[in-house]
Amino acid sequence: MSVIRYLLFTVMTTVLAFAAKESFITDDEYAKMLYKNPRGISCAKCHGEKGEGKVLTTYVSHGKEYKITAPPIYNLSMKRFKQALKRKGRLMPEYFLTEWEMAHLYYYLLTQNPDYQKNKKVKQ
Ligand code: HEC
């Protein structure tokens, strides 16, 4: 019995210590983590490290080169940003993010925008 108690105690303290440690990340760190690792494929894979947009691939058809791109997303209004995340895009996967998560993502991307870093404002 006491062995089980001891084991339970050890497991619980480890879990609690971990949970406590996790909750000590700042909002900035949380937002960055979410952008790199949302519940699904990373936004950064398609939209770039800072949300600056990225060419995903190029192909040639009838001798002409075409690009498939993910647009920049660090300069949108909060409304447009959220709308895009709530619908299924043509290429973009559907995410099921909470309001909290979307707000953090939006905030993170804003802070990555060079315009915001310079003027604390973003042209939309
Ligand atoms: C597989 C590549 C891919 C991934 C991963 C991806 N996106 Fe997208 N996203 C796109 C493409 C491509 C578009 C352009 C619309 C379309 O084709 O779906 C887009 C459009 C958007 C738009 C709308 C832009 C506008 O101008 O209105 C927003 C906002 C957005 N993505 C945010 C995100 C966020 C945040 C994540 C991570 C949670 C993410 N995307 C993950 C490819 C991706």
Using a 6 Å cutoff on CB, does residue 80 contact ligand 1?
A: yes
pLDDT at 113: 95
pLDDT at 20: 53
pLDDT at 8: 63
> Residue range 42-63: average pLDDT?
96
Ligand 1 center to residue 48 CA distance, Å?
A: 11
Using a 6 Å cutoff on CB, does residue 36 contact ligand 1?
A: no
Residue 71 has pLDDT above 90, yes or no: yes
Specify the residue with its C-alpha closest to ligand 1, atom 7: 92
- Residue 6, phi-psi category: left (phi > 0), alpha (psi -120 to 50), beta (remainder): alpha
pLDDT at 12: 59
Main-chain dihedrals φ then ψ at residue 45, nearest 5 degrees: -55, -40
Question: Among 15, 39, 24, 50, which residue's Cα sits nearest to residue 100?
Answer: 39
Domains of the chain: 3-119 (1.10.760)
> Residue range 68-75: average pLDDT?
96
Tell which one of 75, 92, 98 to mutate to probe ligand 1, the residue whose CB is within 8 A of the most ligand atoms. 92
Indicate the pLDDT class of residue 90, thresholds 50, 70 and 90. Answer: confident
> Residue range 4-11: average pLDDT?
64
Residue 107 has pLDDT above 90, yes or no: yes
Give the pairing type, strands 64-70 and 54-61.
antiparallel
Ligand 1 center to residue 73 CA distance, Å?
A: 8
Closest atom of ligand 1 relative to the 80 alpha carbon: 27
Indicate the pLDDT class of residue 39, thresholds 50, 70 and 90. Answer: confident
List Cβ neighbours of 33 (8 Å cut-off, separation of 6 or more).
Answer: 25
Using a 6 Å cutoff on CB, does residue 78 contact ligand 1?
A: no
The percent of residues above 90 in pLDDT, for the chain, comes to: 56
